[in-house]
Amino acid sequence: MAAPAPSYDLVLLLHASAEEQTRQKLSVDIDKLIQEQGTLLEGREWGVRQLAYPIGDELTAEYRVFRFQGPAELLNELNRQLKISDAVLRHRLIKLERNPVDLPDLAEIDANAAAAGAAVAAAESE
């Protein structure tokens, strides 16, 4: 019996200063490439976030994550295309363990944190 194909996470940090249309086109192209050569399991847009440390002059980046399965040729092609794209600040391909955790929904986490902060501020003002 053949082993199941490994899963990968592709984490993209896109220049926040790049045009939205350029970032969206890159995301669509990556999605299309993964679906042509592999299986896209999940994709998430995490939005513009502060970087842990500056990369060049950039303090923020737009984060996008793709979870997929595919052959080594797909990994090589993704690396090649992402290295030459001007919109990509950084990217990382990560091979996942057998039972990977679910991708977090950062929009929901941010909304919950904002609601909790508002509740604390309301309680302090009373």
Does residue 2 lie in a domain region? no
Number of domains in the chain: 1
Whether residue 34 contacts residue 70, with contact meaning beta carbons closer than 8 Å, is answered with yes
User: What's the domain range around 92?
Assistant: 7-125
Does residue 47 lie in a domain region? yes
* Torsional class of 34: left (φ above 0), alpha (ψ -120 to 50), beta (otherwise): alpha
Whether residue 14 contacts residue 65, with contact meaning beta carbons closer than 8 Å, is answered with no
From first to last of its 126 residues, the chain has per-residue pLDDT tens of: 556 678 899 999 999 988 999 999 999 999 999 999 999 988 888 889 999 999 988 999 999 999 999 898 999 999 999 999 999 999 999 998 765 556 656 566 666 666 666 665 566 666
Helix (H) or strand (E) holding 24: helix 20-37
Question: Domain with 67 in it: what CATH number?
Answer: 3.30.70.60
